[in-house]
């Protein structure tokens, strides 16, 4: 892996680790708290959204690192739509387990 790829991978991993730590520390009430007065989505919904996109970011980073052109950005939406439904808490728990087993 070249230096640029390593830096990108490190940055994605750092963000995922930070999100996992944040999600693990949330109480049940905090998990269901609306994001703001103008955005009624819960913190859990936002965590789920971000956790769902990480595999896409990794795939995109791998494509860029391999020197291939990124030609179809809209494919991300199709990838998300095809992913099986999984709760955010479950997704983050799975991510954390994989991270701690390294």
**Global confidence as pTM:** 0.60
Arithmetic mean of pLDDT over the chain = 76
Work out the pLDDT band at 6, boundaries 50, 70, 90.
Answer: confident
Q: Where are the alpha helices (DSSP H) in 1-102?
A: 3-24, 28-31, 43-65, 75-82, 88-100
pLDDT in tens, 28-71: 999 999 999 999 999 999 998 888 888 777 777 777 777 887 77
């Amino acid at each position: 892996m070249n230096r640029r790829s390593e830096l990108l991978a490190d940055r994605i991993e750092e963000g995922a680790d930070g999100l996992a730590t944040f999600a693990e520390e949330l109480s049940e009430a905090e998990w269901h708290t609306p994001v703001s007065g103008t955005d009624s989505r819960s913190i859990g919904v936002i965590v789920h959204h971000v956790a769902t996109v990480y595999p896409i970011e990794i795939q995109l980073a791998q494509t860029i690192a391999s020197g291939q052109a990124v030609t179809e950005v809209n494919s991300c939406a199709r990838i998300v739509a095809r992913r099986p439904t999984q709760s955010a808490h479950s997704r983050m728990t799975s991510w954390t387990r994989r991270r701690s087993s390294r």
